[in-house]
């Protein structure tokens, strides 16, 4: 279950382009709650089959190496596919942003550094910082 949880959390991070701080807190809190509950369960004396298991399991490097390898093998194809799709077939908004950045970058530097007045650069829709207004 540990690897499945890590795969799900990493997939959420890969699939979403922007996460709010609440999302980060929820995802990392999920991992923390899982490990804390696993540790609490294994420390109970009535769980004889797994009593003290967590101390041995978390101290074993092969456990962590296996978890990391399996999670990376499961998430890496998703990340590579997202990267390939993004660069092979960009969205319409990404294409427009690319051309707007190129257009704003071609304007003269004297117009971009001008004070906040209606310069030719701002009339074209470019802000002095190089982005769109």
The tens place of each residue's pLDDT in the chain, 133 residues long, gives 788 888 988 888 888 877 788 888 888 899 899 889 888 887 777 766 666 777 788 888 998 999 999 999 999 998 898 888 878 888 888 888 888 888 887 766 555 555 555 555 455 566 655 544 4
- Indicate the number of domains in the chain: 2
Cβ count near 121 (within 10 Å): 20
Predicted pLDDT at 115: 54
Say if residue 102 is in the same domain as residue 72: no
End-to-end C-alpha distance for the chain, whole angstroms: 48
Report d(CA 5, CA 30) in Å as an integer. Answer: 9
Say if residue 73 is in the same domain as residue 114: no
Tell me whether residue 131 is in a domain.
no
In terms of Cβ atoms closer than 10 Å to its own Cβ (0-12, 13-18, 19+), residue 104 is buried
Tell me whether residue 78 is in a domain.
yes
Say if residue 78 is in the same domain as residue 60: yes
Predicted pLDDT at 21: 85
Query: Which tokens in the block code for residue 84?
Result: 């390939």
Say if residue 47 is in the same domain as residue 69: yes
CB 126 within 8 A of CB 104: yes
- Note down the domain range covering 27: 2-88
Say if residue 75 is in the same domain as residue 116: no
């Amino acid at each position: 279950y540990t690897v499945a949880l890590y795969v799900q959390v990493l997939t959420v991070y890969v699939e979403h382009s922007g996460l709010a701080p609440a999302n980060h807190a929820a995802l990392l809190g999920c991992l923390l709650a899982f490990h804390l509950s696993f540790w609490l369960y294994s420390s109970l004396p009535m769980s004889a089959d797994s009593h003290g298991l967590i101390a041995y399991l978390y101290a074993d490097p092969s456990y962590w190496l296996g978890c990391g390898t399996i999670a990376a093998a499961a998430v890496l194809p998703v990340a590579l596919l997202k990267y390939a799709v993004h660069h092979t077939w960009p969205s319409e908004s990404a294409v427009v942003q690319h051309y707007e950045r190129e257009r704003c970058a071609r304007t003269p530097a004297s117009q971009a550094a001008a004070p906040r007045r209606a310069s030719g650069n701002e009339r074209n829709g470019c802000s002095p910082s190089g982005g769109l207004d």
